């Protein structure tokens, strides 16, 4: 079977009133790839994710998923096939962990929602016997994001979208969660778009990196290509800034 989840973003522009958020953006993402989208606040990262799950529509251009135009898919059905992890996790506070993680399998009327939720919790490093019965307010920030990731993975999505999903955490928790994410996504091989303002995170986790600046694609390449051959002064500046947060011995 051919793996699903190949994305083709073709010449997409999107404005909010007079404010351009994305300008003539084209990029392809291979099935199973993890693409990091890096850019400062306001560069258009969230808008791109909103176009992918059809919370917004492009003014120009189109997005294709496995050869089908997104605009021809039913938006509700599409969203059930997309795992989405926001910065705050977005768990429903009045549902226990188990119910939160079962949400999409239940919406899709899959018969095995409960075991799927358990498998997804294990995949992100949470023991279901300890965590399935907890309420969201009984979780640490890192555990909450793990549950949010489990919920996103629980229904074998075509795509996984993460919007600054690790950014609100302290450094150690964040590194643990990045490792858990990396393991889970390598195991499942789900096409992933990981949005972050942190170039170091992108270098660590992504197969390729797209640098966005004010709605335009500044560079697209492997982590090594971005670091060794920055396409513009802006990308060079982002690398310098990321380096300055690295340990002294790594700053070459
Ligand atoms: P990022 O996620 O990289 O911070 P966004 O995609 O949220 O960037 O925003 C891109 C641009 O679009 C910004 O200038 C932002 O102010 C603007 N924008 C985003 N959402 C809206 C909205 N709902 N209404 C008006 N302007 C918006
Ligand atoms: Mg954003």
Work out the mean pLDDT of the chain and round it to a whole number.
94
> pTM (2 decimals)?
0.94
| 43 CA closest ligand 1 atom index | 3
Kindly state if the Cβ of 37 falls inside 6 Å of ligand 1: no
The 10 Å Cβ neighbour count of residue 241 is 11
| 163 CA closest ligand 1 atom index | 2
Residue nearest to atom 1 of ligand 1 (CA): 42
Q: How far is the CA of 2 from the centre of ligand 2 (A)?
A: 32
User: What is the tens place of the pLDDT at every residue in 171-197?
Assistant: 899 999 999 999 999 999 999 999 999
Exposure string for 124-157, b = 16+ CB within 10 A, e = fewer: bbbebeebbebebeebeebbbbbbbbbbbbbbbb
When pLDDT is cut at 50, 70 and 90, the band that residue 250 belongs to is low
The ligand that comes nearest to the alpha carbon of residue 45 is 1
The 10 Å Cβ neighbour count of residue 56 is 17
**pLDDT score of 119 more than 80:** yes
At residue 225's C-alpha, the angle toward residues 193 and 162, to 5°, is 15
Contact between 52 and 161 under an 8 Å Cβ cutoff? The reply is yes
């Amino acid at each position: 079977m051919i793996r699903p989840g190949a994305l083709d973003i073709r010449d997409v522009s999107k404005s909010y009133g007079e404010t351009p958020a994305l300008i003539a953006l084209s990029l392809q993402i291979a099935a199973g790839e993890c693409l990091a989208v890096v850019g400062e606040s306001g560069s258009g990262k969230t808008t791109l994710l909103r176009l992918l799950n059809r919370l917004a529509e492009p003014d120009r251009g189109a997005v294709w998923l496995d050869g089908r135009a997104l605009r021809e898919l039913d938006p509700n059905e599409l969203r059930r096939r997309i795992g989405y992890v926001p910065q705050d996790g977005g768990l429903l506070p009045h549902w226990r962990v188990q119910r939160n993680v079962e949400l999409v399998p239940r919406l899709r009327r899959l018969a095995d929602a409960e075991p799927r939720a358990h498998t997804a919790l294990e995949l992100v490093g949470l023991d279901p016997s300890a965590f399935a019965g907890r309420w969201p307010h009984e979780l640490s920030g890192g555990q909450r994001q793990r549950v949010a990731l489990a919920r996103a993975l629980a229904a074998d999505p075509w795509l996984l979208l993460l919007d600054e999903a690790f950014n609100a955490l302290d450094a150690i928790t964040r590194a643990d969660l990045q490792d858990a994410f990396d393991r889970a996504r390598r195991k499942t091989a789900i096409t992933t778009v990981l949005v972050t303002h942190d170039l170091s995170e992108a270098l660590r986790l992504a197969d390729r990196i797209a640098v966005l600046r004010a709605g335009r694609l500044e560079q697209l390449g492997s982590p090594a290509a971005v670091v060794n051959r920055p396409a513009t002064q802006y990308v060079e500046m982002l690398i310098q800034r990321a380096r300055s947060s690295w340990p002294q011995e790594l700053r070459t």
